[in-house]
Chain A
């Protein structure tokens, strides 16, 4: 070959120099768990459906919600959205309004009659679900998806459980509950209402497995001296009567109403009282406002409606319209004590008790194998199975947080366990995935955007205010999501790699080329959402 002067070697490209040998750490694309998903009691893959909503793929987004929760429109209203409390965006410019997005997508599904398409191949196994509350219906839905035959027995006249009898209609309109239940029934669930199971053991002969989630409908009683003619209600009875009377106001609550308790039920009762015509509603709570178990957003909404909260007080006596309140305080060891002799009397036309609910244990007593704990709850093992083989339980009858979302989560988990039981296989363990916390987000790549704030209530009616978002707003609010822990194809890694060690195909797929990657870690550092992990090469 005729080479120019003084050159000995063939000219070549540096591609023959494999700089990949320099590295001690190597980048890998990972899927980390977004904090919203971690906190969702139903185990929703929130980030994934937000990502589809960002692209305007609402049906696909809805299908992703439905993989873990068959009640998007219900949850978009009645869920206490703990996801928003942990949303990484909250530490930047305000959490993504996940709750409202879920509601809007849920409503789109209802208006467009979207149905569930995938039902598993029939297994021939029969499962009985006792109760038709959120946990039961969730279990029924997932069991159908696994291909089992499902029968539901409900003792009330209508299905829905606490969704219907525990959440007032201004927070959760009945057409929403009905629509989402109908969709579950349409998967082939056999629902029988007004049917009370008498004997579990008998039912075991007809079914291969049973799921019990009969809830906690029995109001707790506390020691209060009552004399004179007094209007006293239990919150849960009030809700039920209101529901059975189809919203007709047959109650004579009077103008001044006291609600006793500090949970979400107390808040719902107080706001219901306002809507039933009470003019002055006060919540009496033993501890301080900060200790109130009710969710903060609920408390704030109640305060905005003009409800007063009297903290550190106990009702000790009710004498006609005179209510005696003992003042409470904390001692040096932080124990709650009543301040001896320090009390006040206030006037009220009615008192509503919202001090907790117990389970109706009649069905379980004397059934060999079923164990009722000291806390009056049905005991289950880690796979939601009671002491009776093949009988599972979840929701409010078992230990848990007692929210509708937790109930749905229990239903989903139980269905998975029941399915494993029916197939005679081990329950697949949940894989532990690293969480994409705020430190993993590179916020340099995001503009601050005002979070979407929507006023949920205008007036004191039982009608719900229509706040579901139009499509453009769903897209823009969903686009505030950081996509924590999951690649959203921003191409930062591809664009910033000084060594072209990341390849991009026409369809946008990115792949590391370890032959040239020197392991500098820029891609991982500049990944806006923590989806690239540096892994040691030396083991």
Chain B
């Protein structure tokens, strides 16, 4: 079967970690994530991949947020790896400390992963993160970007896309939701620090995600991987559509997949015949106001431009492709 699926009965070589019968299931069943949670899926994929290439020699530090809350409800825990939670904003700093401790104790081979949501990464934890990058501390930081503060009820973060409705950016007359011209780009900020490795990934492309993690975990110094994880509840779409949502974001150019080394873009996944952003936006309640009776073609056009700019900026038309 010539297909782009996770596994393939006709070709073992090509199978992803997630298709293996003996994958570690680092985040085990019984966690309290919502139905169809993209973040839960991404976290299992990331930690399983790291677990495989390090032979299980990892430790994970987790920021406050959905991922931490749904996986660790006293006295239960869903993690099958050493795992530590401290605060909402200090994950990068805690991970630096954990990495130093392992180094001092002589377990240089133990790899440390810090992980958190977009809120902790883009907003409250950015100072600690920048410090970690600045010192090039030996940590792989993974951000699960669901584009808002989901755990506390869908408030805006600086990763929330423009015009999205959140609890704190409710569209009203003359206000189209999260204002244009706001927000920040943390993958670009990470690149600006010149750290060894920066990559973006999506749960719609699990093989690519696994490849990036498997590579990043074995590097030394600061590494940053940014994973796009749709959220049924916060974005307003049926839970069954999580992967489709992630796929559409990639296919229209709104979520570019790329890799950078030492601050330089080294590869990107080409987007063949980019789809219009409409298809992607239309099926999410957080963008419904762009299509309703007060519809605003300008806002959709503005989002289309962001996608088109990404295609140019990250050279998604193919010249940097490493397919």
A interface list, Cβ under 8 A from B: 7, 9-19, 22-23, 54-55, 444-447, 449, 479-481, 483, 488-492, 494-501, 504-506, 508, 513, 515-516, 518-522, 524-526, 528, 534
Within 8 Å of chain A (Cβ to Cβ): is B19? yes
Say whether B29 contacts A19, CB under 8 Å. yes
Say whether A490 contacts B76, CB under 8 Å. no
Q: Known interface pairs A444-B247, A505-B21, A521-B240. Does A16 touch B30 (Cβ–Cβ under 8 Å)?
A: yes
Q: Known interface pairs A449-B2, A522-B242. Does A494 touch B77 (Cβ–Cβ under 8 Å)?
A: no
- Bound together, the chains give a CA A449 to CA B232 distance in angstroms of 34
Which of chain B's residues 22-38 have a Cβ closer than 8 Å to chain A?
25, 27-33, 35-38
Q: Give the distance to chain B from A465, nearest Cβ to Cβ, in Å.
A: 28
Q: Which of B4-12, B96-104, B115-123 contacts A (4 or more CB under 8 A)?
A: B4-12
Name B35's contact: one of A12, A481, A519, A524 (CB within 8 Å).
A519
Say whether A520 contacts B19, CB under 8 Å. no
Say whether A494 contacts B7, CB under 8 Å. yes
Q: Give the distance to chain A from B48, nearest Cβ to Cβ, in Å.
A: 10
Say whether A491 contacts B240, CB under 8 Å. no
Q: Give the distance to chain B from A153, nearest Cβ to Cβ, in Å.
A: 47
Within 8 Å of chain A (Cβ to Cβ): is B175? no
Name A17's contact: one of B4, B30, B242, B247 (CB within 8 Å).
B30
Q: Known interface pairs A9-B74, A490-B1, A528-B5. Does A14 touch B31 (Cβ–Cβ under 8 Å)?
A: yes
Say whether A494 contacts B19, CB under 8 Å. yes
Say whether B77 contacts A11, CB under 8 Å. yes
Q: Known interface pairs A479-B1, A495-B19. Does A12 touch B240 (Cβ–Cβ under 8 Å)?
A: no
Within 8 Å of chain A (Cβ to Cβ): is B239? yes
Residue among B36, B78, B232 with the highest chain A CB neighbour number at 10 A: B36
Q: Give the distance to chain A from B106, nearest Cβ to Cβ, in Å.
A: 26
What's the tally of chain B residues with a CB closer than 8 Å to chain A? 49
Say whether A491 contacts B7, CB under 8 Å. yes
Question: Beyond A449-B2, A498-B41, A526-B243: 8 further Cβ-contacts under 8 Å?
Answer: A447-B2, A491-B5, A495-B206, A500-B28, A504-B19, A520-B232, A520-B242, A525-B241
Within 8 Å of chain A (Cβ to Cβ): is B159? no
Residues of chain B within 8 A (CB-CB) of A488 are 1, 9
Residue among A492, A500, A515, A525 with the highest chain B CB neighbour number at 10 A: A500
Within 8 Å of chain A (Cβ to Cβ): is B40? yes
Q: Known interface pairs A480-B2, A496-B6. Does A522 touch B240 (Cβ–Cβ under 8 Å)?
A: yes
Within 8 Å of chain A (Cβ to Cβ): is B193? no
- Bound together, the chains give a CA A208 to CA B30 distance in angstroms of 64
Residue among A19, A447, A526 with the highest chain B CB neighbour number at 10 A: A526
Residues of chain A within 8 A (CB-CB) of B7 are 489-492, 494-495
Closest to A497 in B: B41
- Bound together, the chains give a CA A498 to CA B28 distance in angstroms of 9
Say whether A445 contacts B5, CB under 8 Å. yes
- Bound together, the chains give a CA A18 to CA B40 distance in angstroms of 16
Which of chain B's residues 205-252 have a Cβ closer than 8 Å to chain A?
206, 232, 238-244, 247
Name A19's contact: one of B2, B30, B239 (CB within 8 Å).
B30
Name B36's contact: one of A447, A489, A522 (CB within 8 Å).
A522
Residue among A12, A15, A499 with the highest chain B CB neighbour number at 10 A: A499
- Bound together, the chains give a CA A481 to CA B36 distance in angstroms of 29
CB 8 Å contact bits of B73-99 with A (1 = contact, 0 = none)? 111111000000000000000000000
Name A490's contact: one of B5, B20, B75 (CB within 8 Å).
B5
7 closest A-B pairs by beta carbon, nearest first, are A491-B7, A521-B240, A14-B30, A490-B5, A495-B6, A520-B36, A495-B18
- Bound together, the chains give a CA A497 to CA B37 distance in angstroms of 9
Residue among A492, A497, A524 with the highest chain B CB neighbour number at 10 A: A492
Say whether A445 contacts B76, CB under 8 Å. no
Within 8 Å of chain A (Cβ to Cβ): is B294? no
Say whether B240 contacts A524, CB under 8 Å. yes
Q: Give the distance to chain A from B311, nearest Cβ to Cβ, in Å.
A: 19
Closest to A51 in B: B1
Say whether B3 contacts A513, CB under 8 Å. no
Q: Give the distance to chain A from B307, nearest Cβ to Cβ, in Å.
A: 18
Q: Give the distance to chain B from A81, nearest Cβ to Cβ, in Å.
A: 22
Say whether A504 contacts B3, CB under 8 Å. no
Residue among A446, A498, A516 with the highest chain B CB neighbour number at 10 A: A498
Name A499's contact: one of B2, B8, B29, B240 (CB within 8 Å).
B29
- Bound together, the chains give a CA A527 to CA B322 distance in angstroms of 27
Closest to B70 in A: A14
- Bound together, the chains give a CA A493 to CA B38 distance in angstroms of 14
Q: Known interface pairs A498-B33, A498-B41, A525-B241. Does A445 touch B3 (Cβ–Cβ under 8 Å)?
A: yes
Q: Give the distance to chain A from B7, nearest Cβ to Cβ, in Å.
A: 3
Within 8 Å of chain A (Cβ to Cβ): is B44? yes
- Bound together, the chains give a CA A117 to CA B19 distance in angstroms of 38
Residues of chain A within 8 A (CB-CB) of B75 are 7, 9-12
Within 8 Å of chain A (Cβ to Cβ): is B268? no
Say whether B9 contacts A447, CB under 8 Å. no
Say whether A446 contacts B3, CB under 8 Å. yes
Residues of chain A within 8 A (CB-CB) of B62 are none
Say whether B77 contacts A13, CB under 8 Å. yes
Say whether B6 contacts A490, CB under 8 Å. yes
Say whether A13 contacts B9, CB under 8 Å. no
- Bound together, the chains give a CA A528 to CA B9 distance in angstroms of 14
Say whether A18 contacts B38, CB under 8 Å. no
Q: Give the distance to chain A from B80, nearest Cβ to Cβ, in Å.
A: 8
Residues of chain B within 8 A (CB-CB) of A447 are 2-4
Say whether A521 contacts B10, CB under 8 Å. no
Q: Known interface pairs A498-B40, A504-B21, A524-B240. Does A518 touch B35 (Cβ–Cβ under 8 Å)?
A: yes
27 A-B contacts (beta carbon < 8 Å): A12-B77, A13-B28, A17-B30, A17-B31, A17-B32, A19-B32, A54-B1, A54-B10, A444-B247, A446-B2, A446-B4, A479-B1, A489-B7, A490-B1, A490-B7, A496-B6, A498-B40, A498-B242, A499-B29, A500-B25, A515-B29, A520-B35, A521-B238, A522-B239, A522-B242, A525-B240, A525-B244
- Bound together, the chains give a CA A497 to CA B33 distance in angstroms of 12
Q: Known interface pairs A14-B76, A506-B21. Does A501 touch B29 (Cβ–Cβ under 8 Å)?
A: yes
Residues of chain B within 8 A (CB-CB) of A15 are 28-30
Within 8 Å of chain A (Cβ to Cβ): is B16? yes
Q: Give the distance to chain A from B59, nearest Cβ to Cβ, in Å.
A: 17
Q: Known interface pairs A495-B16, A498-B40. Does A13 touch B76 (Cβ–Cβ under 8 Å)?
A: yes
Residues of chain A within 8 A (CB-CB) of B241 are 525
